[in-house]
Chain A
Amino acid sequence: MRYLIRRRFLLILGLLFIELNNPLFGQEFTGEITGVIKDVQKNESLIGANILLVGTKLGSITDYNGKYTIKKIPAGDYTITVRFVSYKTENKRITVRAGESIEVNFKLNSSAVQMDEVVITGQGAAIEKRKLSSSVETISLREIEKSQVGSLDGLLQGKVVGLLSYLPSGMPGSGARIQSRGVKSALLATTPVIYVDGIRVDNNDNYRLAEDIGGQVSSSLSDLVIGDIERIEVLKGGAASTLYGSEAANGVIQVFTKRGLSGGVVPGAPKWKISAISGFDSPELKWTKEQLTKDRFYQDGFYQGYKLNVVGGTEMLSYNVSGSMNYNTGIITDDLLTDKVYNLFAGLRAVLGDRSDLQISANYVRHDFKSIFNDNMIWAPLGNFEYSRTFESSNTDNPDSLISIYLKPQIKEGVNRFTYSTNVTYSPFEEFSNKFTIGLDYRNNEQRAFAPKETENIVNQPGGFIHRNDREYLSLTLAYTGSYKAPSLGPVSQTISFGGQGFRVEDREFSGTGNNFAIPGTDLIPNASLITADESNRQLFSGGFFITDQVGIFDKVFLDLGLRFDGNSSFGKDVGLQTYPKAGIAYNVSDEDFYPEELKGIMGSLKLRTSWGVTGNFPLPFTRDRTYSSSTYFSAAGLNFENPGDKDLKPEKTTSIDAGFDAGFWDDRISIEFNYYKQTTKDALFSVATPSVGGFGPQERNVGEIENKGIEISLRFNAIKTNDIDLEIKGGLATVENKVLSMGGAAGFTIGGFSFAPKRIEKGYPIGVWSVSVPRVEADGSLKGNYDTKLMGNPTPKYTGSFGFDLNLFKDLSISMLGEYASGGDIQDLFSILRVLYGYEDALKLIPASTDPDYPYDFVTASSVFLEKSNWIRIRDITVRYHLQHLLPNGINFTLSLRNYFIFGVSALIDPEQNWSRSLRGLEVGGLGGDVISTPKQFRFGIEIPL
Chain B
Amino acid sequence: MIHKNILFRKRIVSALIVLIFILFYSCELIDPTDVKNSTITEESLLENASGGGAPLVVGLKRQLAQAYGYLVQFSEVTSDNYINMDVNISTLLDNPRSIRPDDLSLDGSGLLSSSPYFHLQNLRALADFGLDVILQKDIYATQEQKALTHFYRGMALLLLSENFSAFPIKEKSGAITAKEASLIAVDEFKIALNLTSKIETKADCRLALARAYRIAGDKINAELEAKNLIALAPEHLTMIEYDPISLPNNVSYWVVLRPNNDMQPLPRLDFLDPKCPTDDSPIPILKAEEAFLILAEVAISNGNQTDAKKYMRQAIVLSDSREIGNFSDLDNRMNRPNNPLLKVKADASSPLIDGLIQKRGSGSAQVYLYPVSGTSLIEADIDGLISQTDIIRSLYLLRQEIFFLEGRRMSDLGIRWPVTRSETDANPYYRAGSPGTSVVVPSFIPAGKEMDAFSTDETAGIVTCHWDMNKLIALNYSLIKPF
Contacts and interface: CB of A to CB of B under 8 A. Distances in A.
Given A692-B121, A698-B110, A628 B40 contact: yes
Interface in B81-139: 86-91, 102, 104-105, 108-113, 115, 117-118, 121-122, 124-126, 128-129, 134
Nearest to B110: A697
A676 interface: no
B33 A541 contact: yes
B91 A755 contact: yes
Nearest to B241: A634
A13 B20 CA distance: 10
A689 B426 contact: yes
Interface in B24-70: 27, 30-42, 45, 52, 54-56, 58-63, 65
Contacts of A860: 87, 91
A10 B41 contact: no
A689 B11 contact: no
Nearest to B100: A789
Nearest to A785: B448
Contacts of A641: 111, 122, 125-126, 129
Interface string A620-643: 011001111111111011111110
A756 B111 CA distance: 22
A388 B61 CA distance: 38
B121 A515 contact: no
Contacts of B62: 631, 633, 638, 640
A696 B169 CA distance: 14
A628 B244 CA distance: 22
B305 interface: no
Could you tell me the dominant secondary structure of chain A's interface residues? Answer: mixed
A37 to B, nearest CB: 35
A626 B41 contact: yes
B125 A694 contact: yes
A326 B316 CA distance: 71
A632 B35 contact: no
Contacts of B91: 755-756, 860
Interface string A7-47: 00110011001100100000000000000000000000000
A747 B425 contact: yes
A758 B86 CA distance: 15
A1 interface: yes
B134 A639 contact: yes
Interface stretch (B209-217, B218-226, B256-264, B337-345): B256-264
Contacts of A746: 425
A537 interface: yes
B88 A626 contact: no
Interface stretch (B293-301, B384-392, B415-423): B415-423
A378 B259 contact: yes
Contact of A695 (B36, B122, B258): B122
A755 B58 contact: no
Contacts of B128: 695
Nearest to A639: B59
A203 interface: no
Nearest to B91: A860
B23 interface: yes
Contacts of B258: 378
B111 A697 contact: yes
B302 to A, nearest CB: 38
A382 to B, nearest CB: 15
A17 B15 contact: yes
A540 interface: yes
Contacts of A532: 245-246
A631 B59 contact: yes
A735 B427 CA distance: 40
Contact of A530 (B34, B121, B245, B421): B245
Given A622-B37, A697-B109, A632 B126 contact: no
A690 B19 contact: no
B332 interface: yes
The number of chain B residues touching the other chain, given as a range, is 35 or more
Interface in A565-616: 567, 569
B126 A754 contact: no
A886 interface: no
Contact of A692 (B16, B104, B118, B243): B118
Contacts of A914: none
A538 B194 CA distance: 46
A228 B243 CA distance: 52
Interface string A841-860: 00000000000000100011
A628 B38 CA distance: 11
A859 B246 contact: no
A795 B16 CA distance: 57
A625 B45 CA distance: 13
A499 to B, nearest CB: 17
A93 interface: no
Nearest to B426: A689
Given A632-B246, A859-B87, A690 B23 contact: no
A640 B104 contact: no
B31 A633 contact: no
Given A541-B32, A755-B105, A17 B19 contact: yes
Contacts of B374: none
Nearest to B259: A378
Q: Which of A621, A629, A747, A754 has the most CB of B within 10 A?
A: A747
Nearest to B89: A755
B58 A628 contact: no
Contacts of B108: 750
B118 A630 contact: no
A13 B332 CA distance: 72
Given A689-B426, A694-B171, A695-B125, A639 B52 contact: yes
B65 A633 contact: yes
Contacts of A693: 121, 124-125, 167-171, 423, 427, 430
Contacts of A18: 8, 11-12, 15
A125 B116 CA distance: 57
B418 to A, nearest CB: 13
B318 interface: no
B184 interface: no
B52 A642 contact: no
A476 B89 CA distance: 45
B6 interface: no
Interface in B369-425: 420-423, 425
Contacts of A628: 39-42, 45
Contacts of B121: 692-693, 695
Contacts of B462: none
B247 interface: yes
A859 B118 CA distance: 29
B129 A695 contact: yes
Contacts of A543: 32-33
B426 A688 contact: yes
A628 B126 CA distance: 11
A637 B53 CA distance: 11
Contacts of B87: 754-756, 833, 859-860
Interface string A927-939: 0000000000000
Contact of A837 (B63, B86, B171): B86
Given A633-B58, A695-B125, 15 more contacts: A515-B245, A530-B244, A628-B45, A630-B59, A632-B245, A633-B246, A637-B55, A638-B55, A640-B122, A641-B122, A692-B117, A695-B124, A755-B88, A755-B91, A756-B87
20 contacts: A2-B27, A2-B33, A6-B23, A10-B23, A13-B22, A21-B11, A395-B332, A460-B257, A621-B37, A626-B41, A637-B55, A637-B58, A638-B55, A691-B171, A693-B423, A695-B126, A697-B113, A698-B109, A747-B422, A754-B87
Interface of A: 1-2, 5-6, 9-10, 13-14, 17-18, 21, 378, 388, 395, 460, 476, 478, 502, 504, 513, 515, 530, 532, 537, 539-541, 543, 567, 569, 621-622, 625-634, 636-642, 645, 688-698, 746-747, 750, 754-756, 758, 833, 837, 855, 859-860
**Closest CB pairs A-B (n = 6):** A695-B125, A697-B110, A638-B59, A638-B58, A639-B59, A691-B427
